[in-house]
Amino acid sequence: MSELVRVSISIEKPLYERLEKLVRQSGYTNRSEFVRDLVRRQIVQREWENDREVAGTVTLVYDHHVRGLTDRLTTLQHGHRGVVLAATHVHLSHHMCMEVIILRSRASEIRKLTDEMRKLRGVLYAELATASTGEELH
């Protein structure tokens, strides 16, 4: 574990009270871990804004009965070999499927692939969850 450093901040009392409420509502046992997570979220956001190598997941919900859709999704993923690390496919109903795709690349390439999948006829939902490779988080 890395060396801990104590930090002191000054904030207005109403903002402090809101911070304490957020910490409690979020289930954190202490304010320090809550603030560390806020900082980490900002680091990940900056990694994406600066088009760094990042990680993420795309969740798709689609109608697999739409002609050619599963082939187009597979072709897109094969065309981004090295970006697509893994995919999990589940059947939600007779027509509906969900796929969660784990990706690692530059942020712009992940966004582009997500947009390409989102635009396919039959894809009803496509959501990108941004993450980090973890290199900048410690």
Q: Tens digit of pLDDT for each residue in 43-90?
A: 999 999 999 999 999 999 999 999 999 999 999 999 998 999 999 999
- Residue 42 burial (CB count, 10 A): 10
Residues 107 and 16: their CA atoms lie apart, in Å, by 35
May I ask the CATH architecture of the domain 53-131?
2-Layer Sandwich (3.30)
- The domain locations on the chain are 13-49, 53-131
Q: What is the pLDDT of residues 31-40, one digit of tens each?
A: 999 999 999 9
Least confident of 3-7, 13-17, 39-43, 116-120: 3-7
